[in-house]
């Protein structure tokens, strides 16, 4: 089916977004499906489902490393498909819109709850290092700052997409003291921190964590320095059906790494946007259900799979 230029533009924005984390982009994906439902001019339930399905496939393929986009889109499509036989076109359209609103609100509430749990991990005078830009980490650090006014944050650049710049800017505007460093300086500054807190784009079926490129190096540096390494993410980011060796790490344009013509054409330039951090390097994963220690993560994922996440 033909997809409107406006919907295609919204999908393209998600695909090329370098500033926002996976939770926010998942909510944007839900907004796209909602907008498509509102704008739909098809004449049958079958055509409506087909259109929503095609848009959903485009959203999922736009950011394949980000589990919450897959999960939120799949849940929305399943919700309307299950009711299609008992609803007319107007009702199924309304259902699609209301379910999108429900998923968006559930994600926002999950982040509020994670921020409360995450705040409990942060003490007065903590110096916290973080990497990439996570709306969940941002919320937790703001929550912690309301209780501990003298916390400090070391924020990294966040890979070629420079996503850390947004996080550093928002934290400073909120009043938190921030030191901004290049990713290559992680090892130098890790000993000045006493805690690492990052977000995630996907928790794989084997418990390994997919996040912005450089997270693995930071986890290694934290282990070497004996500093706890926490991951904050909603359960929407868990992917029970996919192990870490099957994740698309989203190779992006080489020019972000080096200007065209600066190197001989025979030199291969690689620009992955995500990497994978082994579970054994992680102190704990904080979800809206609380703190999971590494030994609990895989069983938690199995529970999510059993209830059909």
pLDDT digits (tens, 9 = 90+) for 140-185: 999 999 998 899 999 999 887 788 899 999 999 999 999 999 999 9
Q: Identify any residues that bridge with 155 across adjacent strands, giving them in sequence order.
A: 130, 180
* 18 closest CA partner among 276, 247, 254, 212: 212
CA distance 211 to 302: 21
| Active-site annotation holds for 206 | no
- Alpha carbons 148 and 144: distance in angstroms, whole number: 6
Report the C-alpha gap between 29 and 32 in whole angstroms. 5
pLDDT in tens, 239-278: 988 889 889 998 989 998 999 999 999 999 999 999 999 9
Residue 50 to residue 47: CA distance in whole angstroms:
5
Q: Which structure tokens are listed for 308?
A: 């059909």
β-bridge partners, 129 = 154, 196
From the candidates 126, 183, 201, 275, give the one annotated as an active-site residue: 201
The pLDDT value given to residue 159: 82
Cβ neighbours for 205, distance < 8 A, ≥ 6 positions apart: 239, 240, 241, 242, 243, 298, 301, 305
Q: How many residues does the chain have?
A: 309
Judged on CB neighbours under 10 Å (0-12, 13-18, 19+), 162 is: middle
Who has greater pLDDT, 307 or 19? 19
Q: Band of the pLDDT at 203, cuts 50, 70, 90?
A: very high
Give the domains, in start order, of the chain with CATH numbers. Answer: 5-111 (1.20.120.420), 114-306 (3.40.50.10470)
Q: How far apart are CA 53 and CA 176, in angstroms?
A: 43
Contact by Cβ (8 Å): 228, 283:
yes
Q: What is the pTM of this model?
A: 0.92
| Dihedral sign of CA atoms 15, 21, 24, 26 in order | positive
């Amino acid at each position: 089916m033909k997809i409107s230029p406006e919907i295609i533009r919204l999908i393209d924005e998600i695909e090329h977004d370098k500033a926002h984390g996976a939770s926010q982009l998942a909510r944007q994906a839900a907004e796209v499906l909602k907008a498509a439902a509102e704008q739909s001019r098809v004449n049958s339930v079958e055509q409506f489902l087909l259109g929503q399905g095609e848009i959903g496939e485009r959203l999922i393929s736009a950011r394949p490393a980000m589990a919450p986009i897959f999960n939120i889109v799949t849940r929305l499509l399943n919700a309307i498909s299950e009711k299609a036989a008992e609803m007319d076109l107007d009702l199924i359209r309304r259902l699609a819109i209301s379910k999108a609103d429900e998923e968006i609100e559930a994600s926002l509430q999950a982040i509020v709850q994670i921020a409360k749990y995450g705040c409990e991990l942060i003490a007065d005078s903590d110096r916290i290092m973080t990497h990439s830009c996570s709306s969940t980490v941002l919320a937790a650090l703001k929550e912690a700052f309301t209780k501990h006014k003298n916390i400090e944050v070391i924020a990294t650049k966040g890979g070629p997409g420079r996503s850390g710049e947004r996080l550093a800017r928002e934290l400073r505007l909120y009043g938190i003291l921030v030191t901004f460093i290049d990713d290559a300086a992680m090892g130098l500054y890790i000993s000045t921190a006493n805690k690492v807190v990052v977000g995630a784009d996907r928790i794989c079926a084997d418990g390994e964590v997919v996040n912005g490129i450089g997270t693995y190096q930071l986890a290694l540096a934290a282990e070497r320095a004996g500093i706890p390494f926490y991951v904050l993410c909603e359960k929407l980011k868990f992917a029970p059906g996919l192990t870490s060796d099957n994740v698309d790490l989203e190779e992006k344009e080489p020019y972000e790494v080096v200007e065209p013509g600066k190197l001989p054409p025979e030199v291969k330039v690689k620009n992955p946007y995500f990497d994978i951090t082994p579970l054994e390097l992680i102190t704990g994963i904080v979800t809206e259900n609380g703190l999971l220690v590494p030994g609990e993560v895989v069983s938690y994922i199995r529970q999510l799979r059993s209830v059909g996440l």
